[in-house]
Amino acid sequence: MKENLDLVDVWRIFNPDDKRYTWRQRRPIVQCGLDFFLVSQSILGNITLADICPGYKTDHSMITLDLSLHANHRGPGFVKLSTSFLTDIEYVNLIKSVIKDVQDEYVEDGTVTPALL
């Protein structure tokens, strides 16, 4: 059974009449729109800009997207947390160890705020 992912080419949605290419060859001159950025319809409303920019050391251009992470109105939401794993002492100790290791790794890094640590 084939699943419909409802994907769209976001650059084409934002630029329906533009003729721009993402791949080019110099000799003979050939240009094509080979590359695209597919997104689902559900996040299309979070994209504020789609652009094609020159690539670095490649014959392909890059497609860039600007996303608005706060475009959706926040509702009451829901969180389901199964706390059963918190009774597993081995798991709890592993998590504590990972947190400690990360703190130790970044304690001397001036770019990380103390609040985050």
Tens of pLDDT, residues 19-29 = 888 888 878 88
The pTM of this model reads 0.48
Encode pLDDT of 78-107 as tens digits. Answer: 777 778 888 889 989 998 998 888 888 878
Q: Which domain holds residue 25?
A: 7-67
Torsion of CA 33, 37, 41, 46, to 10 degrees: -120
Higher-scoring residue by pLDDT: 75, 84: 84
* pLDDT at 90 (0 to 100): 92
59 and 13 in a common domain: yes
Is 46 in contact with 71 (CB distance < 8 Å)? Answer: yes
Q: Which residue has the higher pLDDT, 65 or 80?
A: 65
Percentage of residues in the chain having pLDDT higher than 90: 5
* Predicted pLDDT at 12: 85
Examine the domain organization and report whether 21 and 61 are in the same domain.
yes
Q: Output the six-digit token pair for 64.
A: 């860039």
Query: Mean pLDDT over residues 60-85, rounded?
Result: 76
Is the residue at 74 inside a domain? Answer: no
Average pLDDT over residues 13-34: 83
39 C-beta neighbours (distance < 10 Å), count: 19
Number of independent structural domains in the chain: 2
Dihedral sign for Cα atoms in the order 76, 82, 87, 92: negative
Q: Are residues 51 and 101 in the same domain?
A: no
Is 85 inside any structural domain?
yes
Asked whether residue 46 is domain-assigned, the answer is: yes
